[in-house]
Amino acid sequence: MVKENKISCWLFFLLTLLKAQRYEADSLIISFYSDAPLEKISAENQTGCYSYVDFRTDSVYVRVKIRGFSFPNKLMEEHFNENYLESDQYPFAYFQGKLIAPIPYTQPGTYAVSAQGVLLIHGVRRDRVLSGVYEVRSDGTLFLTGKFLVKPADHKITIPKLLWEKIAEEVEVSFRGRYIPKK
């Protein structure tokens, strides 16, 4: 009886240890900004992002719902979904990768972080290295911020020359989120 208890205690301890290495984003905001000479286009996604980092395997996973992007101009939002990202066929964008160097995620402080992996937008995969800054707070939560550039052409998002909507050849994507240990 005592031995069994001991084992289950160990198991419980091990499990919590494993769990504590997995951090999930409880708030993650992804926005983008296209700065063309005639028209500035920007959108923000507050509700459609799901992400976790598993420090046991150093793996990173991000899933972004395309319909979650909110534009100040709703016509642009419709075009973004219907003509550019074709969200009925490709409802999500993903990033799946591995941290290039391990992060001291239990030591409060600010660390640069990079992850190498696959960025999947509009059904087109691209190998990318994405970088950001991790801030480990004393309460054990992690704050992640960063930005990267996406070329629409890299993901077969075509922009007709005839179009009056001007879209930059490179779009700046920013992210900021809070990760908490998964219980």
Partner 1 sequence: MDRYRISPITLLGIAPLLLAQPPEEKPEPVIATFKGTRLYNFHTSETPAHRHLEFRVAHRFGDLRQGYANFFGIDAGATVRISLGYGVLPWAEIGLERTGAGKWWNGYTKLRLLRQTAPRGMPISLTYIGMAFLTEATDPLRYRVLSDRWEYLHQLLIARKFSRRFSVLMGAAWLHQNMSLTPQALNDWLWALGGLRFKLFSRVTLIAEGALPLWKNALSSSAPFPNYHIPWSIGTEIETGGHVFQLGLTSAAGLSENQVLLTDRPLLRLGFNISRIFSLQGGPTYGKRE
Which one of 11, 72, 106, 109 is in contact with partner 1 (CB under 8 A)?
A: 72
Q: State yes or no: residue 144 binds partner 1 (CB under 8 A).
A: no
Stretch of 104-112, 113-121, 131-139, 169-177 contacting partner 1, by CB under 8 A: 169-177
Q: Which residues pair with 31 in a beta bridge?
A: 44, 174
Query: In terms of Cα–Cα distance, which of 110, 88, 109, 112 is closest to 101?
Result: 112
Stretch of 59-67, 94-102, 109-117, 119-127 contacting partner 1, by CB under 8 A: 59-67
Q: State yes or no: residue 162 binds partner 1 (CB under 8 A).
A: yes
SS3 115: strand
Query: In terms of Cα–Cα distance, which of 98, 70, 97, 66 is closest to 83?
Result: 66
Q: State yes or no: residue 165 binds partner 1 (CB under 8 A).
A: yes
Q: Is 163 exposed, middle or buried (0-12, 13-18, 19+ CB in 10 A)?
A: exposed
At which residue do the structure tokens 């926005």 appear?
A: 31
At which residue do the structure tokens 């009056």 appear?
A: 164
Stretch of 41-49, 96-104, 112-120, 135-143 contacting partner 1, by CB under 8 A: 41-49
Q: State yes or no: residue 160 binds partner 1 (CB under 8 A).
A: yes
Q: State yes or no: residue 58 binds partner 1 (CB under 8 A).
A: no
Residue 37 near residue 62 (C-beta atoms within 8 A): no
Q: Which two three-digit tokens encode residue 53? A: 């980092």
Q: State yes or no: residue 56 binds partner 1 (CB under 8 A).
A: no
Residues that bind partner 1 (CB under 8 A): 31-33, 40, 42-44, 50, 52, 63, 65, 67, 72-75, 77-79, 81-83, 86, 88-89, 91, 147, 160, 162-165, 172-174
